[in-house]
Copies of this chain bind each other. A is one copy, B any other.
């Protein structure tokens, strides 16, 4: 974003009361547009949490030692169809012994961080509750299937059956943090009903592509759709099924802006047609 923002003056006031000339002034702020912008939709906390849980297979488990001390350990996980995390743990490992004695557990998952990116800008989710072994053969089969879908070596480990056991996380609390200042809790019901963002696996590539090859289209969107009619440059920070987050340079300072797709993207390759439509709309086509 440094390039797109080059030459932009700093805002003379901002809602965060950040000292001017400080490093914090490099953050784009929620500067009001000059012309009212169309209302936009953002992913809900439940959707963000589902998307993060669906993005990988590596998490960290917090369990309690015999002394009641916290114990963090890296684990692999899969997710059931309602997004509930499933673990396959060793009875010999400390976390396995911990959970056998005290079922209280918490699991944290980070969104994938591109090489060299600042992890503070990316989402993470925490689940808390307790673990339970599958109650019957149906739950066990579902747990195995979920885990094996996520972990290539699962079939091998499962044969060491004396050493491993399956647990489902019975979730009580779900907390999502989306980066600086974006965070919310969600309920288990909302989480189960939400769908992972279908475009998430391609979003980083799309953002890079937009910034490298379509800066002019982003600037058109910032001016015509986000209402920053005086924008001098714009870059894309994030893309999701509902739209794009833009970092907009104006003579008044830098602004965070949101531009929404005409329809939510519903397929993995949905970002391209949705952004093409946005660009055309911005140009009055």
Contact = CB atoms under 8 A, between A and B. Distances in A.
A106 B58 contact: no
B18 A69 contact: no
Contact of A70 (B105, B124, B175): B105
B76 A70 contact: no
Contacts of A180: 153, 157
Interface string A100-141: 000011111110010000111100101010000000000000
Q: Which of A110, A151, A156, A175 has most chain B Cβ within 10 Å?
A: A156
A167 B97 CA distance: 29
Contacts of A285: none
A205 interface: no
Contact of A74 (B70, B73, B108): B108
Contacts of A119: 57-58, 74, 76, 151
B153 A69 contact: no
Interface in A140-196: 151-153, 155-157, 159-160, 175, 177, 180
Contact of A18 (B59, B63, B159): B159
A71 B64 CA distance: 10
A167 to B, nearest CB: 14
Interface string A60-78: 1111110011111110100
A33 B61 CA distance: 39
Interface residues of A, number: 52
Contacts of A94: 175
Given A58-B110, A58-B119, 10 more contacts: A27-B156, A60-B72, A62-B72, A68-B68, A70-B106, A72-B72, A72-B108, A73-B108, A73-B126, A76-B120
Pairs A-B, 10 closest by C-beta atoms: A60-B60, A62-B62, A62-B70, A72-B108, A74-B124, A62-B72, A72-B106, A58-B119, A23-B155, A74-B110
11 contacts: A18-B159, A19-B159, A58-B119, A60-B60, A60-B74, A69-B128, A71-B128, A72-B72, A72-B107, A72-B126, A74-B109
Interface of A: 18-19, 22-24, 26-27, 57-65, 68-74, 76, 93-94, 104-110, 113, 118-121, 124, 126, 128, 151-153, 155-157, 159-160, 175, 177, 180
